[in-house]
A = this chain, B = another copy of it.
Amino acid sequence: MQVSEIEWSKTEQKVAKEAFEKAYEREIAALIQEVRAQASAIAELDDMWRLHDFLSARRHDIDGKYDYSYSVLLFIFARLVKEGWLHLDELKGLQTDKLSKVAALSRM
């Protein structure tokens, strides 16, 4: 599946950017809630280091995942759909072949 040399129209770029930011905001909001919940449940040192490990992993994950680059954007969208941070509907406005690719990749 050749996705790295796809052209993105101005309209598509706008749709993509908005969808990307929406997913990012959702994931961050959920993460903040999760961290607050874990922090409020800390009873001993081990719980605190577990929170630290959790934050280390999530930071690494998020830093790597939200790389807005057109060459990998369909893969990112597929992952975001798969993980539930984005709905395919929210990519409406992209060309049909792009939507099909995201849908297919998200089911892998």
Contacts and interface: CB of A to CB of B under 8 A. Distances in A.
Q: Tell me the number of copies of this protein.
A: 2
Interface stretch (A11-19, A30-38, A78-86): A30-38
Interface size class of A (residues with CB under 8 A): 10 to 19
Contacts of A49: 55, 59
Contacts of A48: 31-32, 35, 55
Interface in A61-85: none
A2 interface: no
19 contacts: A28-B45, A31-B48, A32-B42, A32-B43, A32-B45, A35-B42, A35-B48, A35-B51, A36-B40, A36-B42, A39-B40, A40-B40, A49-B55, A49-B59, A51-B55, A52-B52, A52-B59, A55-B55, A56-B56
